[in-house]
Structure 1
Amino acid sequence: MLDLTIIKAITLDLDDTLWPVWPVIERAEAALDEWLGRHAPMTAALFANPTARHDIREQVVRTRPELRHNLSAIRREAIRLALYRSKENPLLADEAFEVFFAARHEVTLFDDVMLALEFFSARYPVVALSNGNADVGRLGLGSYFRAAISAQEFGVGKPDPRIFLAAAGAADVHPHNVLHVGDDATLDVLGGLNAGMQTAWVNRADHLWTHESLPHETVTSLTELCDLFRQAEKEQP
């Protein structure tokens, strides 16, 4: 049962909580492929083969384990390796990655997001907590967040309790005073619970809960979560 009386900060997942991520990634990959087709056609042809594309990424992950949580670096080095294998200029990798990264930030927010960000940021410090590489500043959302903690910068990702504790520290509160909000049952809910936080599962797609431990609250939208806070505020003496 969610205890709103002790909440002093909100940590908030990004991908698939604030926007659907896979349409964004597909469009970003299409933008990258189009750019490579004009500037590095042999690399574009190589990347057109899904198996080759997967194998290149896996080689980067295998040979550069220090990049395991750094999705941007993995993507950039995969492009560089593909350029090298295709006997094209590896120095194009940085520019090619920027094409992908710019398109990766062309997100379409869920309809409830802006009002929820305004609601929560007016009441609590809000910290973005993500395993992805989205930049809330680049998205124009930076003013709603006290801080942003990402796996690629911190070095470990959710559900590791350490990244949740870092987010609580960024808000200058104890973990038990944090409500973590996210869509992923394992990464967000179980990760937050293991770090000593309260958790709200944003289940937009009516998934079944399959774990023994339960979230403190399940909602189908951020609006529903905001309404719980509004109701609690009305009931305060």
Structure 2
Amino acid sequence: MEGRIPEEDPLKWERMYQEGGNAAPFKLEGMMNLQQSSEVRVVSFDLDNTLWVTSATISAANEALAAFLDARGVVQPQRIETIMGILFKENKERYCPIEVEQAKAPALLTLLRKDAIRKILLDDNGYSSESAECSAEEAFQTWTNARHDAITFNMAEAVKECLQEIAAIQTSDGHSVVIGAITDGNSDPRLIDELSKYFHFCVNAEKVGISKPDKRIYLKAVQELAGHPSLKHLLPDDDAQDYELESRLGPWWVHVGDDFIKDVVAAKDLNMRSVWARELVLNKQVDYALSEGKPERSVEALVKDVSKNEVVKMQVGATDYLVNSLHQEFADAIVDRFGEVATVLNAWHSEGLVKTSTPLQIVENDVTVQEEVVLRPEVESGDTENDRTPNIKNGGSKFCLFCRNTLPGAAKFCSECGEGQH
């Protein structure tokens, strides 16, 4: 499907962020006019630093690889990861075949790691080409297994419980929510025993040849779901062109990730809803408490800082307000604990079901009354460690006092049992 839409402007993402999300994506005329309130049908997750701690899992895999090579007497003048950096700088086109000039990191990580292993076997250990190829494959599999094993011990809080709750969501036509992954890395949650049963698809940068935030990696995921039984009324068949797939996207698809540009801004560009999950990046903070007499930063410097994978802490004031406004312009919800993702999705889903269903009819004293459901306004995040609640746009939910059915936050009556809510 490559080449069917205009190539990405490499500076579009930064410009879109600075202009408040006004960059016009390529859309088909007469596209579906989807309301922002919609039941949830697909949830895609970034993986590294969203579901698990990247540094810990990669370190464990690197150590396992080094031990594997040591056990076979392989001389290692340099670490494999060091050689990977050298190879990437020498030949970016091989490891990032699309938009080479703008490449800041490799997209084909598997190829790069195998090349680094082969190089050390050939150049420093006298292996034949055939032996180096076989040994490199075995060594890489050792690295992959170790990485997936380490993920189990380095997950964010309540990942399994959260996924279980999301998987239990039922659409209005009786289907389960489709859960998947869109990632720049080469891990796959379907290979992890604790997670495999929840994930229906996994698309990584290697499948496309380019990394996020480029829309092509997201559209690859959409393409893989074309023809899915629960999405037939939303997506065209699997022969559809990219612009057709893009024109059908809407708030029924939610993307969850830790990277503001690659996950949150990219999702907005495709008309998806987004959840900025920051639990594993909260420790990457920049303290901008301004001392007396120190000049304030320019707007350009501020935008550069808030677009990083960081939580910016500043004194309350105009600058602080601007940062929060920029974040909320793009993120439909911001959560500081991964487990809160399920709360957000359930609230959105309940709201979507209410808005797409027949208004609730209630009989009071033999008179039929049509109850108007008023949705609770935005919930702001708490300021303390023990009072952090998800920041949700147009969301919020509660449980019925009598039957425990999930309801919009401001519902006056339960749509399941009809009892009044106080």
TM-score (norm 1): 0.86
CA distance in 2, matches of 1:46, 1:223: 40
Q: 1:73 maps to which residue?
A: 111
Q: Does 1:59 align with 2:133?
A: no
Q: 2:147 maps to which residue?
A: 104
Identity value in percent: 24
Q: Does 1:200 align with 2:275?
A: yes
RMSD over aligned CA atoms reads: 2.6
Q: How many residues align?
A: 234
CA distance in 2, matches of 1:144, 1:30: 29
Aligned partner of 2:77: which letter? A
Q: Which digits, 9 at most, give the CA deviation of each residue in 1:57-107, with x for residues without a partner?
A: 433545554494221111111111222221432232111111111111121
Task: State the secondary structure of the residue aligned to 1:221.
Answer: coil
**Structure with the bigger percentage of helix:** 1
CA distance in 1, matches of 2:219, 2:84: 35
Aligned partner of 2:407: which letter? K
Task: State the secondary structure of the residue aligned to 1:234.
Answer: strand
CA distance in 2, matches of 1:34, 1:57: 24
Aligned partner of 2:64: which letter? A
Question: Is there any run of 5+ residues in structure 2 with no aligned partner, and where?
Answer: 1-35, 99-105, 170-176, 226-230, 235-247, 283-310, 313-322, 348-396, 399-405, 416-422
Quick check: 2:189–2:196 contact (8 Å CA) kept in 1?
yes
Q: 1:27 maps to which residue?
A: 60
Task: State the secondary structure of the residue aligned to 2:407.
Answer: helix
Runs of 4+ deviating beyond 6 Å: none
Please list, as runs of the form range in 1=range in 2, the aligned pairs for 1:1-237 lying within 5 A after superposition.
Answer: 5-42=38-75, 44-47=76-79, 52=83, 54-59=85-90, 61-66=92-97, 68-89=106-127, 90-91=132-133, 92-106=135-149, 107=151, 108-123=154-169, 124-140=177-193, 141-171=195-225, 172=231, 173=234, 174-176=248-250, 177-204=252-279, 205-206=281-282, 207-208=311-312, 213-228=329-344, 229-230=346-347, 231=397, 233-235=406-408, 237=415
Task: State the secondary structure of the residue aligned to 2:265.
Answer: helix
Question: Is there any run of 5+ residues in structure 1 with no aligned partner, and where?
Answer: none
Quick check: 2:211–2:217 contact (8 Å CA) kept in 1?
yes
Task: State the secondary structure of the residue aligned to 1:86.
Answer: helix
Task: State the secondary structure of the residue aligned to 2:77.
Answer: helix
CA distance in 1, matches of 2:41, 2:84: 44
Q: Which digits, 9 at most, give the CA deviation of each residue in 1:183-203, with x for residues without a partner?
A: 111111111111221111001
CA distance in 1, matches of 2:53, 2:336: 14
CA distance in 1, matches of 2:341, 2:68: 41
CA distance in 2, matches of 1:86, 1:69: 27
CA distance in 2, matches of 1:13, 1:146: 14
Quick check: 1:40–1:88 contact (8 Å CA) kept in 2?
no
Q: Which digits, 9 at most, give the CA deviation of each residue in 1:184-233, with x for residues without a partner?
A: 11111111111221111001143136857521110012322222325274
CA distance change for structure 1 residues 99 and 60 in 2, over 3 Å: closer, same or farther?
farther
Aligned partner of 1:5: which letter? S
Task: State the secondary structure of the residue aligned to 1:41.
Answer: coil
Higher relative contact order (CA 8 A, sep 6+): 1
Q: 1:154: how far off?
A: 3.0
TM-score (norm 2): 0.51
Q: Which of the two has higher C-alpha Rg? A: 2
